[in-house]
Structure 1
Amino acid sequence: MARTVARVIVDALSELGVRQVFGVVGDALNPVTDAIRTTEGLEWVSCRHEEAAAFAASAQSQLGDTIGVCMGTVGPGSVHLLNGLYDAAKSRTPVLAIAGQVPLAELGSDYFQEIDNDALFSDVAVFRATITSPDQLPQMLETAVRNALGRKGVAVLTVPGDLGEQKLTADRPARFSLNMPLTRPDESAVGRAVELLDRAERVTLLVGQGARDARADVLALADRLAAPMVLTLKAKAGFEGDANPYQVGQTGLIGNPAAASALQDADTLLLLGTDFPYRDWYPEGRTVIQVDTEAAHIGRRVPVDVGLVGDTGVTVRDILARLDAAPAGTRGARDRSHLEKARARFDRWRAGQARLADPSHDRGLVGRVRSALDNRGHDIRPEALAALVDRVAADDAVFTSDTGMATVWLSRFVEMRGERRLIGSYNLGSMANAMPQALGAQCLDRERQVVAFCGDGGLSMLLGDLMTLRTHRLPVKLVVFDNRRLGMVKLEQEQAGLPEFGTVLDNPDFAAVAEAMGITGIRVSDPADLEAAVRRAFDTPGPVLLDVLTNPDEIAVPAKPTVEQGWGFAVAKVKEVVRSRGEAGDD
């Protein structure tokens, strides 16, 4: 018996191993969602906003072993998918979006809610097409999925409203067989890279997520080269924990001085599986070798002496096989002082950060002086909150973080040890991603702990999808850094010498909002109550929102602060004080 367009799509999703589809129901999608309703093993997750649906699908794609799927219906429903789909595209993760459309006969007539989906998604999608005949399936769907998987991006398939229930005349099962080859660079290029590495005196590795599957090989290379290993934020989950004696944390605005100096002190940089975008943080005049699967990534951030296009694991093994090897302590062995210096500085920095995160720090003399300057209201330190979550959370927890200060505190105080995973909007830099990404992650495994580091600005953007957590009984732990500010924007303004403006948030009691939605809400404002509140949140079954009033004036010092930033911050503070006094006088 011939199947309908909707049934062919849904059967194919099951064949792919998709377990959830995220979206908002309506008109053109009704035949598709009805087919999902009658399909065992495939769950429709009804979100309150299509943007949340796209973020959730992207999270599943990044964490799982198949494509993420979301749906948006005609016009506005599809438009709402865009931000989450851009995040998937920038994260280079495969997502299939099914978009609704007006009836075929009305296409091009400026019909109610009609938009040109193929044009709308032209920038975000590696593949986009509108089904105009049932017999274009399943081939068009196969093409969409193969493009998403093979090109690591977003595919958008548009289904007109009167097509979903039409039957195919030449029905066959969908076939998605796709074998992704492991590529290796040219042997002569590997030879040139090895020559440079053999001559180098001080090598530093900059390691990204693209090297995640080659952890053992990368550690062996770091040992052979006596090289400190600077990690991108996305590489934390692959390289940070489990006794990595080479890593020195992150560089950039969220980084630390040890990582910045490890890059600066090197004469040779080896970039492995990273497209770290911040050019100002690369030192100048160094020999640079870059390994990446994408030729377009080679040299686009920093001038490269040797570019190796290939799989990181394969390439690193080729390099190891050719490098001169001399046992430590023997003549010809590499000097390890560059590595030891970087690690010693990293250990000192971590010890200092641990002191700042100690809840008792502000009670000491140094802490009291510090509080008089930057925490007169005696709010909870965000460092203390992040460090406590790190201690309490499971070693296989999935963490998500909102863009901004929540990511800063996670990067500095949460260690990705054990089987922990981390995702966020680390390429697009969107707000409001942490909660919906946690939603998608928790749907994959309802028994695994999922923790969202939420900024108050980000959470309030998509607050409605707290209801999705409750409706689907998803036990996500939402940790809200409630500083009543757009904290990163505040810091940017002050570093530029501008007074804080437009960043103050008139927040509700988020814990009370959660309780009104049927979710356990815990609000904590006293530093003395913090540990008990964090432990209660993680011990409570089901979804929990932990609303922590944190210090709005907390400063995250960048890895290599400049004099200009210091002067800018001082000038901004003077302007803020003058403005505050002026406003008080006006009253």
Structure 2
Amino acid sequence: MARTVARVIVDALAELGVGQVFGVVGDALNPLTDAIRTSDGVEWVGCRHEEVAAFAASAQSQLTGGLGVCMGTVGPGSVHLLNGLYDAAKSHTPVLAIAGQVPLAELGSDYFQEVDNDALFSDVAVFRATVTSPEQMPLLLETAVRTAIGRRGVAVLSVPGDIGEKELDADRQSRFSLTMPTTRPDGDAVRAAAALLDRSERVTLLVGRGARDARDQVLALAERLAAPMVLTLKAKEGFEGDNPFQVGQTGLIGNPAAASSLQEADTLLLLGTDFPYRDWYPEGATVVQVDTEPTHIGRRVPVEIGLVGDVGVTVRDLLAELSGTSPGGGDARDRGHLEKAVEHFESWREGQARLTAPDHDKGLIGRVRSALDNREHAIRPEALAAAVDRHAADDAVFTSDTGMATVWLSRFVEMRGTRRLLGSYNLGSMANAMPHALGAQLLDRDRQVVAFCGDGGLSMLLGDLMTLKTYDLPVTLVVFDNRRLGMVKLEQEQSGLPEFGTVLDNPDFAAVATSLGLTGIRVTDPADLDEAIRTALATPGPVLLDVLTNPDEIAVPAKPTVQQGWGFAVAKMKEVVRSHGDDSSSD
């Protein structure tokens, strides 16, 4: 029996192990969604916004390493996919987007809703093509999928509305066999890097997501070099738990121990990271970089030796060449640099932990601090993040919105056990936490999924709370409800500007969730926080935990500058003056 173009695509997705396809139904997609309706292996997940669909597909791809799939119909439907697809592209994860298109005969006629998809997706996609004949299938589909997987990116296949239902004259089974290569650097370069590391007295590792599959080798290297390990945010997963060398993150979300261990190093070894913030690299250090992508070598910081290869293979080769002795000729390397960094990190963590106590503001230091930054005694976001960490499962999947929710997760949630972490950490989009959680939960309904949502991010795509309800997905949405665009507020104040345009007129999110059929829990008292989190995580089905947090909480950067301090002080003075002026004008 001859198959249609739509049936060929859906059968191929099932063969690839794609469990869900995310999107919004409509016109050109009708043949495809009908093929999914009659498919045994693929589930259609109808979202309320195509951006959510693309984020969810990206999440599934990142968690499984396989192909995520989303669909958008003609014109506006496909346009709405863009932000989520950029998230996938910047996360280097394979996603296939099926985009509807106007009937073939109308292409180029400025038809109703017509958009040039090949131009629209030209920047975000590693492959894009429009199906113009059934005879192009399944070859065009195979090419799209292989390109997405092989180049770890987005492929877009546009299907005109009158093409999906056409039958193939010569049908065959789709074939997707693809073996990814393992690369290793030149042996002379490895020996040169090993000799350089042997001569170095203070080595610090900056470890990224690209090293995740080489945990054992990287830990062995840190031991051999007596090197503290600074983690990028995406390397928390896989390297944070049970790691005596790690000293947390650097950058604006980081801590002073990580910043110091970088600045005090004479040699910096980058492993599987393209950490973009140049201001946070040490000055004067010699840099060795390991990355599978040649274009990443040296594009953030000048590199003495660049090793192009897989981190696991390269580190094994380095370990075989390292002497293990001290630069001065002793039998063992001096561990002072490592011990100082770890001690600094533990001291910082102890200080941070004091902020998480429910009665923090009742103590002497807490009363003094709260008089300045928490006069209403709102719940501190540090306490919220730490409490979620205590109660969440050791195999939970965490997602976080870009902004302050990510800061608190970075500092107070440990990726121990088999926990996973997702966020828009390369694109930096708002509103990703809930859609990422949606995609993650559909992979395993029995696994705990916790989304750290900013109130600004959640409200941006609020409609898809209904998708969680429709599919009865037991996601726990933790809303950091500070009635602000918190990161923007902090950026303004550190620059000496008064807060402007960041105040959010929020509803009672728990009441909104309840009205939509979810379980809604609202917390306003620090004393109720622990029990509320315990209840939220234990409640079946989707739960929204709306926690009113302190809008004036300050996340001090890892190496605060005098300029930032003065800027913050000036901004606060301007805010006070403006506030007093507002009060007098209303009398």
In 2, distance between residues paired with 1:325 and 1:284? 26
The answer to whether the Cα contact below 8 Å between 2:70 and 2:96 also exists between their aligned partners in 1 is yes
In 2, distance between residues paired with 1:532 and 1:360? 15
- CA deviations 1:171-194 (Å, max 9, x no partner) are 101000000011000111111101
- Aligned position for 1:338: 337
SS of the residue corresponding to residue 478 of structure 1 reads: strand
SS of the residue corresponding to residue 358 of structure 2 reads: coil
In 2, distance between residues paired with 1:315 and 1:390? 34
SS of the residue corresponding to residue 428 of structure 2 reads: coil
- Aligned position for 1:168: 168
SS of the residue corresponding to residue 481 of structure 1 reads: strand
What is the identity, as a one-letter code, of the residue corresponding to 1:356?
L
In 1, distance between residues paired with 2:540 and 2:268? 47
Written as runs of structure 1 = structure 2, the 5 A alignment for 1:196-215 is 196-215=196-215
- Aligned position for 2:552: 553
- Aligned position for 1:120: 120
In 2, distance between residues paired with 1:326 and 1:582? 67
In 2, distance between residues paired with 1:250 and 1:359? 25
Instruction: State which drifts further: 527-536 or 143-152.
Output: 527-536
In 2, distance between residues paired with 1:123 and 1:50? 19
What is the identity, as a one-letter code, of the residue corresponding to 2:160?
P
Deviation at 1:107, TM superposition (A): 0.3
- Aligned position for 2:181: 181
What is the identity, as a one-letter code, of the residue corresponding to 1:581?
H
- Aligned position for 2:569: 570
Written as runs of structure 1 = structure 2, the 5 A alignment for 1:365-514 is 365-514=364-513
- CA deviations 1:255-294 (Å, max 9, x no partner) are 0000000000000000000000000000111100000000
In 2, distance between residues paired with 1:446 and 1:31? 29
Structure 2-normalised TM-score?
Answer: 0.99
Deviation at 1:550, TM superposition (A): 0.1
Written as runs of structure 1 = structure 2, the 5 A alignment for 1:58-73 is 58-73=58-73
In 1, distance between residues paired with 2:559 and 2:574? 25
In 1, distance between residues paired with 2:80 and 2:90? 17
- Aligned position for 1:93: 93
SS of the residue corresponding to residue 252 of structure 1 reads: coil
Instruction: State which drifts further: 351-360 or 119-128.
Output: 351-360
- Aligned position for 1:311: 310
In 1, distance between residues paired with 2:431 and 2:579? 30
In 1, distance between residues paired with 2:291 and 2:326? 29
- CA deviations 1:324-357 (Å, max 9, x no partner) are 02499x9321000000000000000000010011
In 1, distance between residues paired with 2:554 and 2:465? 30
- Aligned position for 1:541: 540
2:290 aligned with 1:291:
yes
SS of the residue corresponding to residue 355 of structure 2 reads: helix
The answer to whether the Cα contact below 8 Å between 2:201 and 2:326 also exists between their aligned partners in 1 is no
The answer to whether the Cα contact below 8 Å between 2:476 and 2:544 also exists between their aligned partners in 1 is yes
What is the identity, as a one-letter code, of the residue corresponding to 1:192?
A
In 1, distance between residues paired with 2:277 and 2:207? 14
Instruction: State which drifts further: 564-573 or 37-46.
Output: 37-46
Deviation at 1:539, TM superposition (A): 1.2
The answer to whether the Cα contact below 8 Å between 2:225 and 2:324 also exists between their aligned partners in 1 is no
What is the identity, as a one-letter code, of the residue corresponding to 1:352?
G
In 1, distance between residues paired with 2:330 and 2:484? 58
Deviation at 1:459, TM superposition (A): 0.1
Written as runs of structure 1 = structure 2, the 5 A alignment for 1:246-285 is 246-285=245-284
Deviation at 1:41, TM superposition (A): 2.2
Percentage identity across aligned positions? Answer: 81
In 2, distance between residues paired with 1:484 and 1:112? 41
Written as runs of structure 1 = structure 2, the 5 A alignment for 1:151-166 is 151-166=151-166
What is the identity, as a one-letter code, of the residue corresponding to 2:136?
Q
In 1, distance between residues paired with 2:494 and 2:324? 47
What is the identity, as a one-letter code, of the residue corresponding to 2:584?
G
In 1, distance between residues paired with 2:43 and 2:446? 17
Deviation at 1:496, TM superposition (A): 0.1
- CA deviations 1:359-395 (Å, max 9, x no partner) are 1111100000000000001100000000000000000
Runs of at least 5 residues in structure 2 that lack an aligned partner in the other structure: none
What is the identity, as a one-letter code, of the residue corresponding to 2:72?
G
SS of the residue corresponding to residue 430 of structure 2 reads: coil
2:517 aligned with 1:518:
yes
- CA deviations 1:491-530 (Å, max 9, x no partner) are 0000000000000000000000000000000001011111
In 1, distance between residues paired with 2:528 and 2:420? 28
In 1, distance between residues paired with 2:531 and 2:220? 42
- Aligned position for 2:28: 28
In 2, distance between residues paired with 1:426 and 1:514? 27
In 1, distance between residues paired with 2:325 and 2:427? 44
In 1, distance between residues paired with 2:21 and 2:498? 45
What is the identity, as a one-letter code, of the residue corresponding to 1:220?
A
In 2, distance between residues paired with 1:110 and 1:327? 71
Provide the alpha-carbon RMSD of the alignment. 1.1
In 2, distance between residues paired with 1:69 and 1:218? 33
Runs of at least 5 residues in structure 1 that lack an aligned partner in the other structure: none
In 1, distance between residues paired with 2:466 and 2:298? 45
SS of the residue corresponding to residue 109 of structure 1 reads: coil
In 2, distance between residues paired with 1:423 and 1:435? 11
In 2, distance between residues paired with 1:579 and 1:6? 61
The answer to whether the Cα contact below 8 Å between 2:29 and 2:161 also exists between their aligned partners in 1 is yes
Deviation at 1:216, TM superposition (A): 0.3
The answer to whether the Cα contact below 8 Å between 2:240 and 2:246 also exists between their aligned partners in 1 is yes
In 1, distance between residues paired with 2:375 and 2:321? 59
The answer to whether the Cα contact below 8 Å between 2:72 and 2:97 also exists between their aligned partners in 1 is yes
In 1, distance between residues paired with 2:7 and 2:551? 52
In 2, distance between residues paired with 1:206 and 1:183? 21
In 2, distance between residues paired with 1:381 and 1:222? 35
2:372 aligned with 1:364:
no
SS of the residue corresponding to residue 477 of structure 2 reads: strand
In 2, distance between residues paired with 1:332 and 1:263? 25
The answer to whether the Cα contact below 8 Å between 2:3 and 2:168 also exists between their aligned partners in 1 is yes
- Aligned position for 1:191: 191
In 2, distance between residues paired with 1:352 and 1:88? 36
2:64 aligned with 1:55:
no
Structure 1-normalised TM-score?
Answer: 0.99
- CA deviations 1:291-338 (Å, max 9, x no partner) are 00000000000000000000000000000000002499x932100000
Instruction: State which drifts further: 318-327 or 126-135.
Output: 318-327
- Aligned position for 1:355: 354
The answer to whether the Cα contact below 8 Å between 2:198 and 2:326 also exists between their aligned partners in 1 is no
- Aligned position for 1:146: 146
In 2, distance between residues paired with 1:65 and 1:224? 31
In 1, distance between residues paired with 2:3 and 2:238? 44
SS of the residue corresponding to residue 522 of structure 1 reads: strand
- CA deviations 1:439-494 (Å, max 9, x no partner) are 00000000000000000000000000000000001000000000000000000000
SS of the residue corresponding to residue 357 of structure 1 reads: coil
